Structure formats: C-alpha cells, structure tokens
C-alpha cells in the first residue's frame, strides 16, 4: 500500500481597500507589509501545485498595488508555481491591478470588474471659512508646498501638476494590464482604459478575465479531485482584536479617526453598490 501526499492549492485572500495601513474592524486592508509573510509561506510550502488569489477590492494605493503584485509575480517565477486569480464581488482599480498578478483570471458573471483609471479627490472650504470669519494663514518655502490646500483658492498650476501625475500613473496601470493580459484583450484602449466597469460576463468578452467560475470548481477541473486547499491568509486573533478595541475605546482621537475611516470606506464600496 502506497500513501501519496495530495497536491496543495494555496489560497491567499486579497480583500479590502489597498492602503499603507491596516484596517482592523472594517472590511480589512491590503498592503505588502501585512501580506509579505503569507505570500512567502504560500510559495514556499511543500507540494504546492498552484496559488489561488481571492480578490475582493475597490482599489486604493497604486504603490501598494504594484508592490503586492510584483512580490507575487517574483515568487511565482522563482518557484515556478502558476497563479490563478478569482474575483469575488469586486476588482476595481487597484483591485484589478492585483488580479493581473494571476496567470489566469476568473470571476462570477455578476462580479464587478474594471475602473482602470486614476482619481484624486478632495474638497474646497474657502467660502465656508470666510462665512464663519476664519482667516487661513500659510507660510512656506517652495511655491508648491501649499498644493491643493482645501482652505485656499484653487490654482491652475496645482491642478495641472496633479493631472500630470495622474496621467503618468494611468500610463503605468495600462502598461501593467497590457503586459499581463497581452493578446487576450479584445477591445481598443478607448474602451478598456477609460475607467469603465463591467460585469464578469462582459469582462470576459473584453478579455479582462479568462473565464467564469469559482475557485473550488475551476481548480478541481484543472488539477483533479486529488488536491487539498490550504488558506495562507493572515488572520487577526480574537484576542488581538478585542485588546486593540478595548485599549482604544476611551481614546477620543482614535474614535473620531475610526469613524472618518469607516465613512470613507463605506463611500468607496457604495460606489459599486456593495
């Protein structure tokens, strides 16, 4: 009688807003610092047949998106392990950037995919502070130090500088998608890269994804039934969540900051009806 070890399919969940900081107590956050150990362990595990990325993200930091995706691609090449991405509810903007780290991308028919663009948002409170009698005073060295200050009148040069940066970032995003998807893309640049979003079914027609399906069934169809799924996603212990929550419960600054972050997060997700 021979005992054979099952091939392992490693799972890494990439869920939440892509940010430089962790987002405890919300829908989660994604950055390389938090994910590095999980990614490295997954690619270093014995009998690893393939890596599955479960993506559910409205986007966020372009830098963190690139850092995470690059780490996955570097290890995939080094270990010669294929990577499959499965989009759940949403892969928009940076979420789609992460998805392109997969050699193949799958989604459900009703998944939301796309938003290949760049956005900068803010507010202007110049008239508001005038009405309540507040005078804004700014002293700086370097003419651009007050760039897009919300309490000062908007300057054309400031807007021009931001748009130049956005154009550069958008070009980087487009180059990444073309590098990873190549000839599989089925529409012209004006259609694909205008920050539009599509259903999973339409995204397949456009070549943004390779197929429709969930990871369990697709991976079984590709590698057979004799595989074992192992989740390498980083988990925050119940004790740590409780301790951090209680230690900050009476901190007014923390409560206000958490409230603002939760509102921002709800606004980002609600753009896509989630």
Q: How far is CA 64 from CA 61, 167, 194, 205, 254, in A?
A: 5, 18, 22, 29, 24
0.75 exceeded by pTM: yes
pLDDT in tens, the chain (274 residues): 444 578 999 999 999 999 887 654 455 689 999 999 999 999 999 999 999 999 999 999 999 999 999 999 999 999 999 999 999 999 999 999 999 999 999 999 999 999 997 766 555 555 666 667 666 666 666 666 555 666 666 667 766 777 788 889 999 999 999 999 999 999 999 999 998 999 999 999 999 999 999 999 999 999 999 999 999 987 754 444 455 455 555 565 555 555 656 666 666 666 666 5
pLDDT in the model for residue 263:
63
pLDDT in the model for residue 156:
74
The answer to whether residues 96 and 115 touch, using CB atoms and an 8 Å cutoff, is: yes
pLDDT in the model for residue 144:
61
Reduced to 3 DSSP states, what percent helix, strand and coil does the chain have, rounded to the nearest 5? 45, 20, 35
Helix axes 62-79, 156-181, angle to 10 degrees: 20
pLDDT in the model for residue 27:
56
pLDDT in the model for residue 43:
97
The answer to whether residues 52 and 227 touch, using CB atoms and an 8 Å cutoff, is: no
pLDDT in the model for residue 244:
47
Domains and CATH numbers, the chain: 7-115+196-270 (3.90.226.10)
Burial of 185 from C-beta contacts in 10 A (0-12 / 13-18 / 19+): middle
pLDDT in the model for residue 3:
46
pLDDT in the model for residue 150:
62
Cβ of 266: how many Cβ atoms within 10 Å?
A: 13
Burial of 114 from C-beta contacts in 10 A (0-12 / 13-18 / 19+): buried
Residues 6+ apart with CB under 8 A from 102: 53, 83, 84, 85
Report which DSSP code applies to 6.
P
pLDDT in the model for residue 246:
55
């Amino acid at each position: 009688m021979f005992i054979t070890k099952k091939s392992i399919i490693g799972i890494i969940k990439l869920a939440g807003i892509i940010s430089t900081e962790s987002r405890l107590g919300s829908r989660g956050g994604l950055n390389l610092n938090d994910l590095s150990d999980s990614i490295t362990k997954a690619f270093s595990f014995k009998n690893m047949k393939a890596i599955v990325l479960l993506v559910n993200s409205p986007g966020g930091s372009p830098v963190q998106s690139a850092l995470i995706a690059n780490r996955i691609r570097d290890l995939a090449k080094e270990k010669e392990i294929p990577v499959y991405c499965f989009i759940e509810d949403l892969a928009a903007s940076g979420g789609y950037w992460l998805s392109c780290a997969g050699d193949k991308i799958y989604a459900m028919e009703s998944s939301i995919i796309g938003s290949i663009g760049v956005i900068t948002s803010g507010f202007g409170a110049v008239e508001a502070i005038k009405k309540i009698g507040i005078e804004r005073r700014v002293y700086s060295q370097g003419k651009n130090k007050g760039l897009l200050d919300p309490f000062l009148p908007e300057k054309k040069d400031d807007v021009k500088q931001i748009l130049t940066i956005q154009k550069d970032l958008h070009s980087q995003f487009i180059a990444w998608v073309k590098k990873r998807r190549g000839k599989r893309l089925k529409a012209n640049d004006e259609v694909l890269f205008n920050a539009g979003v599509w259903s999973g079914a339409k995204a397949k027609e456009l070549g943004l994804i390779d197929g429709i399906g969930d990871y369990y069934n697709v991976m079984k169809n590709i590698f057979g039934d004799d595989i074992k799924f192992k989740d390498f996603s980083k988990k925050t212990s119940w004790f740590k969540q409780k301790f951090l929550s209680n230690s900050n419960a009476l901190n007014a600054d923390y409560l206000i900051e958490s409230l603002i972050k939760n509102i921002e997060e709800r606004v980002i997700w609600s753009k896509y009806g989630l």
